[in-house]
Amino acid sequence: MSKSAVNARAALLAALVVAALSACKPQAPAETATPPAQPEAAAAPVSPAADARPSAQGAPFDAKAFAGMFTGTLPCADCPGIDTRLVLAADGTYTITESYQERSAPEIKGDGTWTVEENNQRLRLDPNSKSDNDRLFAILSQDGIRQLDTEGKPIDSALPYTLRRSR
């Protein structure tokens, strides 16, 4: 068999395969076609204004009810601790105030927006200052959050990384 005959047969076979595959996929009429649904992201954030969604424990998570003030003392590398006050507003904004213990430095203040993500298991603080990194906290309960590392993983330490609801 000549080379051109082999090429012609290969082309015919390819055309038949394409025709067979396209015949297997029914086409919707143009006037009733609907746009494809957008896939939901795995870590789609839940805004505080969103309806409550079930949490991993089965109880609905009410982001507006989660808003409030969380306080505690976070670890510090060169001082006894960092007194931290985080206020989560129901409108999705936050303010954070940090004071280093036994230092005469002024308080450090920040603000931005907050979202709940990872199936209502993680809190993300997105600062308005883009020179600051997002901060992540595990949601332990309605009354407690624990700071996570920059990758969203638990910090392997016995030190107190937990903030508790104070109102």
- What pLDDT score was predicted for residue 97? 98
Please identify, in words, the CATH class of the domain defined by 53-165: mainly beta
- Cα within 13 Å of Cα(54), Cβ side: 3
Where the chain has pLDDT below 50, the residues are 2-56
Nearest to 51 by CA among 62, 66, 40, 41: 62
How many degrees, rounded to 5, is the angle at CA 151 between CA 42 and CA 117? 35
Q: In Å, what is the CA distance from 139 to each residue of 13, 27, 120?
A: 58, 46, 8
User: Which spans in 58-129 are helix H?
Assistant: 63-66
* Bridge partners, 111 (sequence order): 95
**Domain segments of the chain as ranges:** 3-27, 53-165
Residue 19 CB neighbours (<10 A): 10
CB-CB contact of 122 with 136 (8 Å): yes
**Whole-number Å distance between alpha carbons of 76 and 157:** 13
3-class secondary-structure state, position 24: helix
Rounded to the nearest 5°, which phi and psi values hold at 144?
A: -155, 145
How many degrees, rounded to 5, is the angle at CA 101 between CA 97 and CA 106? 50
- What pLDDT score was predicted for residue 136? 98
Q: What's the whole-number average pLDDT of the chain? A: 76
**Whole-number Å distance between alpha carbons of 87 and 65:** 13
Predicted TM-score (pTM) of the model is: 0.65
Q: Which amino acid is at 101?
A: Q
Percent of the chain whose predicted confidence (pLDDT) is above 70: 63
